[in-house]
Every structure is written in structure tokens, then in C-alpha cells.
Structure 1
Amino acid sequence: MRRPRGVTLISLLVGLAISMLVILAALSLFQRMVKTTVNARQDAQSNAQRNASFVSAGLILQSAGFGIADAVWGTHGMVLKDLAWDAEHQRLTGQNSADGQGNAVVWSDNITGASQCRVLWAPAQGGGLRLLGPVACANVTAWSSLAWGTPRSLDRVPQGAITLAQSTATCAPFGIGPATEQVRLTFSATSSSGQVLHTSICLANMRAS
């Protein structure tokens, strides 16, 4: 007697097992795609924010030496290293950088008719950029004795540590003036993907010592 052909329980279970494997593989692929997309988005946002803070730093630093006759690096501007914040006295502790490598730059200007000092500081803990001042000063040599007030962040959400390097370079102010040897500051940071971000700023109102 011929048995009727049809779907058996075994074939149904095999088909169900194959379907489950396909679904699990699709879910795993989707999860990896979502994770990659989220990480890429976060990294792009972080890089954009870091670039924005670099642009802000470049604009702020254009005041360095402004309004001071014969502003010179070493007296009206210097790089500081191992800088830390004394919250109780609202002062900075650290030392002058002999090799031009550090985590802060202090400068003086005369924008308002009186000499004043400012600091742009990249904290080792927490990252980002902080602006301190302006406070009244004769020049930057007294930076460690000045009460700077409350630091202001240039980053909405600080991301990673920033390093600072000072050198000299031949620069044309704003790309239109005659090229002269000036002080150049370079800010550098590394993104979560390992990409190096940096920007260089020439101080148009400051001559090298």
C-alpha cells in the first residue's frame, strides 16, 4: 500500500532549525551594523566638536600681544607644562616649559587700555580646553601668583587630552600681510579611532624671543 507523500515532522523541524539560523545570522549582522554606525557617529561628533574648539582657540589667541608695543615671547607669552588647578585659591600650579611642549599657554594683551593676562589650558584630567582670565597683570611672568577666577570650557563635552607645542615659523598675518617670523602654537589631539587632529596658529602680534 502506497503511503501519502507530504510534510513530515522531521522535515518541518529541519526547516524550522534552518530558519532560526538565518534569523540569528541576520540579527547578528544588524547588531554589528548598528554598533558600527553609532561608533562612527559618535567619533564624527567628537571630531567636529574638537575642531570647533580648535577654531575658538585660534580666534581667542589672536589677542596675544595686541596693543603692547614690541610684544615678545617669553615676557608677554609662554607655554606652561604640568599645569594643575588650585581651586581653593583659584590659581594655577606648574612650571614654564623650556622646550615649548606643554598643556597651557599664557599671554598678555592691552585690548581694554590696560594690560591683562589670559590662559588657555588643556587639563590632563577630563580633557578639553579651558579659558581663564582676563586678569590685570604687567606681563605673564607673574602667572603663578594671579587669581584667575573660574575656568570656562570651550568644549560642550570635553573629549580626550590635548597637547600644545610652541615653535617659530614664517607666517603671513591672515594670509594677506607680508610674511615674517612669528611664534606658532600647535594644538594636537587623538580621536577615539586613532585619527590625529591638529591645528597651528601664528601669533600675529607677538615676535619670537
Structure 2
Amino acid sequence: MAELAALVTTPTLVPLTLGDYLRLDEAGAFEDYGKTELIEGQIYYMNAQHRPHARVKSDLFVQLALALRSLEADVRALVEASIAVPPHNAPEPDIVLTDAADGTGLVPLDSVRLVIEVSETTLSNDLGRKAKLYARHGIAEYWVVDVTARVFHQMWRPEVDAYTKDRIVPFGYDLRAETITGLLVATGDL
């Protein structure tokens, strides 16, 4: 005998799964929106990137790539690669460091070593909703680059839905990763 579902007396959000989102994307549902990401089952349109954001992101990517190459690490930096965070998330950070850069599909969650969001207009979202999401799913280290204040918010040691360790590093100082041994990024040119 089938069980009846509970009576719903108010409208209830039905979160999309990662599979739903990918099928919609493959069908072209988001073509008119440009870039989107799936956060907690909801689709978000992402603003166009203005020059300050794009320049800092590009320069930081170059510095990370050089630093990783000098380490001869099996970690690569990818720009704007979506991460598969089942069941209801596919965030697209500005830069993701992964040990699974090759392959097809989204970046696997278990390969992510560090995530970076560059913020010119999205600081509260990146320090709030995104930080909770990344911590909740065990991403070891998270950096938010505040373009306006010219600082890095560096967070590590995730527990539940927050990072238990953090610091602020101004542009111009070297930034040492806490979870990737030997990774030191020069930020003087940002």
C-alpha cells in the first residue's frame, strides 16, 4: 500500500539536483543567461565581470600556476571550473585548485584542494553563503579576494558549515596556503 505524502499548506521550494541542473544546461535552458551556478538547489545567474575583477583573477591565476609549477605538485589551477557537489550544488568559483584537472565533466569534489572567489560586488555572498557551502562539503581551504579593500580572506579547517581558522592578508604580502605544503603566492602585483 502506498503512503500518502503529507499535506502541504504553503508553497514549498523543490531544489534541483545536480543531475537536473546538468540536464537543463545540456538542453540549452541557460543559453540566454550566460553563466549560472547551482547553489542549494537554486540556479543563480552570475554578473558580467568588470575589469578590476578580471585583472585580479587573471594575475592571481598566473601567480598560482607559477607557484604550483615550482612545487612540482600534482595540483593544477583552473579558472571558472564548476565543482560537482552533490546532491544540490554546482558552484563555479573563480579559481579552483584540484588534483584532477584532466578528464571530462565537472571537477570532482574529492579532488578539490583550494577554492578562490574574487569579489568586487559579491563579498557578502562569498563570505556568507559560499563559505558555508564550501565548509559544509569539506573543502579544506577557501580564499576570498576582496578587490575593493585589497585583502585576502583566507579560511581553513572546515567544521559543519564554517571554517574554524581564518586570517586577513593584505595585497602586497606573500600568501601561504595552509593546506598545500609549500604553496606561497606573491601578491605584490595585484
Task: Name the TM-score, length of structure 2 as normaliser.
Answer: 0.27
Greater relative CO, 1 or 2 (CA 8 Å, sep 6+): 1
| TM-score (norm. length: structure 1) | 0.25
